[in-house]
Amino acid sequence: MSTITVEGVTINTGLFINNEWVKGHGEPLETVNPATEEVQTASKEDVDIAVKAAREAFETTWGTECSGQERGRLLFALADQMEKRIDELVALEIVDAGKPVAWARADMEDSIACLRYYAGAADKIQGSTIEMDDKNKYAVARKEPIGVAAQIVPWNYPILMMAWKVGPALAAGVSIVFKPAEQTPLSTLLFAEMVKDAGYPPGVFNVLNGVGRVTGDALARHMDIDKIAFTGSTPTGRRIACAAAESNLKSVTLELGGKSPNIIFEDADLKEAAKWAAFGVYENMGQSCNAGSRILVQESVYDKFLPLFVEAAQAFQVGDTKDQNTFQGPQISKVQFDKILGYLEQGKKEAKLITGGNRFGNKGYFVEPTVFGDVDMTMKIGQEEIFGPVASLIKFKTEAEAIQIANDTSFGLAAAVHSMNYAQVNRVTRKLKAGTVWINQYTILSHQIPFGGYKQSGWGRELGLEGLEPYLATKAVHHYYGPEFEWPIKL
């Protein structure tokens, strides 16, 4: 089979089906990274082969055939593989996703922790028993693995988004056909080797690279896939939900976009709030679904907060992704880079540019950490997800106005409240239409805490014990020990 060596790491470029590397028959990936041009993609026919493999595994060696303890043991072994080869994963993620080394490593560590969390849960999946009024009867609600899942992820956290999906699915006994984003195929190909080395039966985890409209769409429409889990843009999420509805009504979970509000009240610790707000919007080059890109600041402290925020934004080191101290690397692609530059021009027309506003340097897709002041919700930069290092500062007067502005968006992924007034924190938190609310912090997620969106930010939750639910089906088993059944009429 064909392999390539990237940063000293050799990876197979084929499709990973049934624990083997096979040739892909899809169209080549259009990418700027010479290494990824070698990566093979899956045609519709290749998708059928992978789904068949996943189904066969589910019915024979996996699914309810494999004990919870064994599923847990395998998942721990997989996490150990990742830990052993973490440097290789980090090296691939730096070239492929443009991540600064410290953050690429942090992603891997979080991913390993996530797999271990679900490894521990694998033999603790429980249903319930239901007592009935009829003494001759009781019922059991069994939790069974849902079947075959397709999982489609974006390029901003290639391995971490995979861990969030693969962890609960493998713990539950679901077999997987996995599609990485076309911009970041490499680290998942190495991960596939680890799945094999960990000892998983063939067909449990399959990787198909490919473009969204071919490979992704074929997965979303497939008649023998029971569940699809997606992270990415809202328009693509909508398309996947439609495809699922038009085909076999497979169940769908969606983690979509955001325009999350970070609310700074006058009695916040302004210096701490500025630090978290800057981290919350500039982290991962602003390419985070939960980026706190709208920073709502109470008017009475706006002039005090602004210099603190600008100072925090300017303190980040931008540049060489292999430098341990670099905070911000390049944007993922020319498409994204150009899109962000477009928003910067738009912002200069609509609002007040405070700092940044341009390309950073003259090589690569770097963007200056940018702050716009005096933004309001009629502006494009106030409403749309920019997915770049761009903060919009919005003034508010009262608590009620803060809540109104915070919720004035079609998204509802995340929000934050910065205040030392705990009664206020409680009041505001309850009114925010968001799946995550941080108090005096931002962006720090944990595999132990459910994550997902209100409104057009998505369907369902990932992570935590709740994250197992989308991979489980409830089977109600009615136990009857008759014969004295009370019929409404005599039969």
Active site residues: 255
Q: Of 232 and 435, which has the nearer Cβ to ligand NAI?
A: 232
At 113 the three-state DSSP class reads: helix
Torsions phi, psi for 3 (to 5 deg): -130, 160
Give the nearest distance from C-beta 166 to ligand NAI in angstroms: 15
- From residue 161, give the alpha-carbon distance in Å to each of 111, 155, 240, 255, 301: 8, 9, 17, 10, 37
Q: Of 325, 327, 343, which Cα lies nearest the Cα of 285?
A: 327
Give the nearest distance from C-beta 487 to ligand NAI in angstroms: 51
Torsions phi, psi for 141 (to 5 deg): -100, 100
CB 460 within 8 A of CB 470: yes
For residue 41, give both structure tokens: 């993609």
Q: Of 182 and 283, which has the nearer Cβ to ligand NAI?
A: 182
Q: Of 143 and 259, which has the nearer Cβ to ligand NAI?
A: 259
**Rounded-to-integer distance, Cα 210 and Cα 117, Å:** 30
Torsions phi, psi for 242 (to 5 deg): -65, -45
Q: Of 72 and 292, which has the nearer Cβ to ligand NAI?
A: 292
- Owner of token pair 């290789």: 88
- From residue 85, give the alpha-carbon distance in Å to each of 35, 278, 298, 369: 20, 32, 47, 33
Q: Of 214 and 465, which has the nearer Cβ to ligand NAI?
A: 214
Q: Of 79 and 390, which has the nearer Cβ to ligand NAI?
A: 390
CB 205 within 8 A of CB 195: yes
CB 108 within 8 A of CB 159: yes
Give the nearest distance from C-beta 188 to ligand NAI in angstroms: 11
**Rounded-to-integer distance, Cα 388 and Cα 330, Å:** 10
Q: Of 434, 446, 440, which Cα lies nearest the Cα of 276?
A: 440
> Exposure of 444 by Cβ count < 10 A (0-12 exposed, 13-18 middle, 19+ buried)?
exposed
**Rounded-to-integer distance, Cα 202 and Cα 224, Å:** 18
Give the nearest distance from C-beta 333 to ligand NAI in angstroms: 8
Give the nearest distance from C-beta 483 to ligand NAI in angstroms: 53
Give the nearest distance from C-beta 249 to ligand NAI in angstroms: 16
Give the nearest distance from C-beta 446 to ligand NAI in angstroms: 17
Q: Of 291 and 297, which has the nearer Cβ to ligand NAI?
A: 291
Q: Of 132 and 335, which has the nearer Cβ to ligand NAI?
A: 335
Give the nearest distance from C-beta 275 to ligand NAI in angstroms: 23
**Rounded-to-integer distance, Cα 63 and Cα 169, Å:** 10
Cβ-proximal residues to 248 (8 Å cutoff; 6+ apart), any chain: 222, 223, 224, 225
What residues line the site for ligand NAI (CB under 6 A)?
152-154, 156, 179, 181-182, 211-213, 216-217, 220, 231-233, 236, 239-240, 256-257, 289, 336, 339, 385, 387
**Beta strand segments in 261-411, E:** 261-264, 294-298, 352-355, 370-373, 390-396
- Beta pairing class for 472-480 and 137-145: antiparallel
